Amino acid sequence: MPIVAEHVVALENELRTAVRLLEYGLAALQEIDAANDFYQRPLLLLASGSERLCKCALLLSFERTAGAFPTQGELKKWGHDVRSLTEAVRQECFTTDYLRIPAAAEDEAFLRSDAVLQGILACLSDFGSGGRYYELDVISGASPGGPSPDVAWMNLEMTIVKADSSLAAMLHEPSALGRIYDEIRPRLQMALERYLRALCRLFTLGPISKEGRRFSGAVGAFLFLRDDQLGVRRYA
């Protein structure tokens, strides 16, 4: 079944929702500092927005190859694991032809191997797949199977700090905590923005671009990010 007007409206609405959630999530991430450790807000927004954006790309990829959109049952099988969804997008949308474009090859390599991004996706995946109910699981006697979302994100931050000797040295200075946050926030933001730009480029340059181009306006917030804007844009 080809794309009809109702599908176009629904896809555009979903993409606009995804982008707004991601922008609010990045704004919430920018508010994290020594006095604010409420990680649940950025995790909730970023996990939901990333899941929706990945699924929109996969919907168009599915329609391109199958000639119809997936059924509700097929769609539910995709789940909420952002890391798995991202890997599905990488495998299905970064085709041999698309990878001949230098920007696409750079995007694919980043999605596949960037350590900070992999840490972010792990946190978002755990949160979206059940971690958002971590405390309720503890209360009910269920085994969460890992650290709480807050601890997982703090572990990611600590990994970034320890990988940089100058930041690691600041750990011994209690007064330097604010400066540490000022250093790691842009690195997390930059990784997220590169990730989102890579996904959004698929709608205009990738194999789903035939139908995806009509949605370029919906994803423009990340599609048109320049390298010199990564990690510095304010979302608040």
DSSP for 117-140? HHHHHHHHHHHHTTGGGHHHHHHH
Better-predicted residue by pLDDT, 146 or 164: 164
d(CA 48, CA 25): 9
What does the pLDDT read at residue 7? Answer: 85
d(CA 142, CA 133): 11
Distance, CA of 155 to chain centre: 18
Label residue 140 by pLDDT band (50, 70, 90): confident
What does the pLDDT read at residue 1? Answer: 54
Q: Is 15 among the domain residues? A: yes
What does the pLDDT read at residue 146? Answer: 79
Q: Is 234 among the domain residues? A: no
Residue 132 has pLDDT above 90, yes or no: no
What is the average per-residue pLDDT within 149-173?
Answer: 93
What does the pLDDT read at residue 174? Answer: 83
What is the average per-residue pLDDT within 18-22?
Answer: 98
What is the average per-residue pLDDT within 136-141?
Answer: 82
Locus of tokens 């698929």: 202
What does the pLDDT read at residue 135? Answer: 81
Q: Is 91 among the domain residues? A: yes
Label residue 127 by pLDDT band (50, 70, 90): confident
Q: Is 136 exposed, middle or buried (0-12, 13-18, 19+ CB in 10 A)?
A: exposed
What does the pLDDT read at residue 61? Answer: 96
Residues in the chain: 236
Q: Is 208 among the domain residues? A: yes
Query: Tokens for 131?
Result: 């971690």
Q: Is 222 among the domain residues? A: yes
Structural domain boundaries, residue 149:
5-229
Residue 84 has pLDDT above 60, yes or no: yes
Q: Provide the H-helix boundaries in the chain.
A: 5-30, 40-66, 72-76, 82-93, 102-113, 115-128, 134-140, 149-162, 165-170, 177-201, 209-212, 220-223
What is the average per-residue pLDDT within 227-234?
Answer: 96
What does the pLDDT read at residue 85? Answer: 97
pLDDT in tens, 178-200: 999 999 999 999 999 999 999 99
What is the average per-residue pLDDT within 68-91?
Answer: 93
Label residue 2 by pLDDT band (50, 70, 90): low
Distance, CA of 123 to chain centre: 10
Q: Is 236 among the domain residues? A: no
Q: Is 235 among the domain residues? A: no
Angle, CA 21 vertex, CA 192 and CA 199 arms, to 5°: 45
What does the pLDDT read at residue 89? Answer: 98
Residue 38 has pLDDT above 70, yes or no: yes
pLDDT in tens, 106-119: 999 999 999 999 99
Query: Mean pLDDT across the chain, nearest whole number?
Result: 93
Q: Is 146 among the domain residues? A: yes
Domain count, the chain: 1
